[in-house]
Amino acid sequence: MIVSEQFVQLLVMVVSGIAVGFIIDSVRLIVFSTPKRSSLRKWMMLFELLTWILLGALTYYLLFWLKDGAWRAYDPLAQIAGIFLYQTIFQTFLRFVARILVNITWRPLWFIIRLIIAFIRQILQLLINIAAFVIRPFVKIYSYLSYTLLKKFRYIKYNKRQQ
């Protein structure tokens, strides 16, 4: 392998480190843009862990595609350097871009999902109220009959000796 190929592969790993930093920062931004009681925020650690696992698998795929699966010691170092490079230089600009993307895509999508869920809840509540209204007379009749019948049978003694 010639030096120029190794240099290009090193640059690709640095850029992939910058992409990993941007993706993790975007995932955190998306999670923290949801309401505090949302299930996404409750399961944030699991969601971020799954993101890290997916990014690790994609990095391995990139190494496999770029170098036929053989990696050198400088590859993970180049990716870590890319993450640090993102944190020091690119984070302010790319976080601004991520905020714009979240405000344009994620928040309206989250609003639509919450609206659909609220609509479904209202429909279910209406159906439950209608069912309760229809069943209420039968419940009243049953409770009245069971009370009067139990009142009559209360004085009957079982296993009474015949005299």
* pLDDT higher than threshold 60 for residue 129: yes
Q: Do residues 14 and 76 make contact, with C-beta atoms less than 8 angstroms apart? A: no
Amino acid 157: pLDDT: 60
Split at pLDDT 50, 70, 90, the class of 1 is low
* pLDDT higher than threshold 70 for residue 109: yes
pLDDT tens digits along 41-74: 888 889 899 999 999 899 888 888 887 777 778 8
Sort residue 57 into left (φ over 0), alpha (ψ -120 to 50) or beta.
alpha
Take residue 92 and report the two structure tokens written for it. 């302010």
Angle of the 91-101 helix axis to the 3-32 helix axis, nearest 10:
50
Please tell me the distance from the alpha carbon of residue 117 to that of residue 83, in angstroms, as a whole number: 38
Take residue 66 and report the two structure tokens written for it. 């770029």
Q: Phi and psi at residue 71, in whole multiples of 5°?
A: -120, 150
Pick 14 or 2 by higher pLDDT. 14
* pLDDT higher than threshold 70 for residue 152: no
Q: What is the dihedral of CA 38, 39, 41, 45, to 10 degrees?
A: 180
Helices (H), the chain: 3-32, 39-42, 44-67, 74-85, 91-101, 107-153
Please tell me the distance from the alpha carbon of residue 143 to that of residue 37, in angstroms, as a whole number: 41
Split at pLDDT 50, 70, 90, the class of 126 is very high
Amino acid 128: pLDDT: 95
Split at pLDDT 50, 70, 90, the class of 133 is very high
Please tell me the distance from the alpha carbon of residue 93 to that of residue 95, in angstroms, as a whole number: 5
* pLDDT higher than threshold 70 for residue 91: yes
Q: 30-34, 75-79, 116-120: which range is least confident on average?
A: 30-34
Instruction: Count the neighbouring beta carbons within 10 Å of the beta carbon of residue 138.
Output: 9
Amino acid 162: pLDDT: 53
Amino acid 161: pLDDT: 58
